[in-house]
Amino acid sequence: MGEKWGKKFIEEILDSVGIKINGSNPWDLKVKHDGFYWRVLSDGSIGFGEAYMDGWWECENLDDFFCRLMPSNPQEKVQKNLKTALYFLGAVMRNLASKSRAFQIGEKHYDVGNELYRKMLDKRMVYSCAYWKDTCNLDDAQEAKLDLICRKLGLQAGQQILDIGCGWGSLVRYAAEKYGVSAVGITVSREQAALAKELCEGFPVEIRLEDYRDTTGIFDHIVSVGMFEHVGYKNYRTYMEVASRLLSDDGFFLLHTIGNNVTSVATDPWFGKYIFPNSVVPSLKQISQSTEGVFVLEDLHNFGPYYDTTLSSWFHNFDMNWDSLKHHYDDRFYRMWKYYLLSCAGSFRSRVLQVWQMVLSKNGTPGGYEAVR
């Protein structure tokens, strides 16, 4: 009786968004294990993701599935369970992205293996949303994004920039190579730092393994791409104050971040456990409050739909290169990574998530800032 009720409850949620259980459409969910329904009802999003990792359900087009599902806010429809409640309570009670925990995201996600990222990303190893305007391949789209950032900052030869969360050094190397600047890049990933130093050798670039709260110096411009998601809502104000302290009075701070349509204090529990620990996607309200009295917003640019194309390209590369990667990982990792990339692609396609680039100044630009696209 309980199993039938659980199945009916899940069926009603999926049916409301045009998804059938064991249906014939490529976005339909095919159940492989009878325990699937109660696992989802008892463990919420963690149970749903883990059930996929364990092969308890399949879907031909995961991205299409999540594109249909995510706007309905399925987590709210599934009865609140103890695990989910404790997860969000922990995010409120503790500072999950405190300085003492800063390196955990590097160890969990970015240190998973440089070879994986080499095979998945573009030739410059840019791990953030590409700019697909007037481009048709990942390499060109990522280079267009790097150039867009440089042009928004108005980089001039001889200037020095800071990249907070520099990844494998793609932006600082590009800026040094194409615009004649010197740069400092910081990361909390040991694997990223080691490879970034290698890739930036011969350029006026310094790579530091450090938390942003420990960074010193004054820079003509500051940029942060895809790192603010790891700052944590309790640290947003501190982050902005640090950026202001490090920025010259007439410089720009370009913040590139995934954005949430609604305010939250924690990421999805499955993503928090397996992909991005201690992270949360900010809302415009949270960013605005954190910059009040610290920065002037000069420009806001949303190109969130481009992340769908970027993530789909990453999954294509990951999938095509799996044979050369699988001796380092197991099949459960493959399913976890596929679930991560394609569920995100579907979420951006459905517009429940955005990508914002903000240009900020300390005192406002005399005469106004001319937007660059």
Q: Are 161 and 206 in contact (CB under 8 A)?
A: no
Q: Within 10 Å of residue 262's Cβ, how many Cβ atoms?
A: 9
Between the CA atoms of 5, 9, 12 and 18, what dihedral angle is there, to the nearest 10 degrees?
-110
Q: In what order do the strands lie in the sheet with 221-225?
A: 205-209, 182-187, 160-164, 221-225, 252-260, 353-361, 296-302
Whether 344 is catalytic is: yes
Q: Are 2 and 67 in contact (CB under 8 A)?
A: no
Q: Which residue has the tokens 């709260």?
A: 213
CA atoms within 13 A on the CB side of 185: 33
Q: Which of 59, 67, 150, 344 is catalytic?
A: 344
Q: Are 75 and 45 in contact (CB under 8 A)?
A: yes
Residues acting as catalytic residues: 344
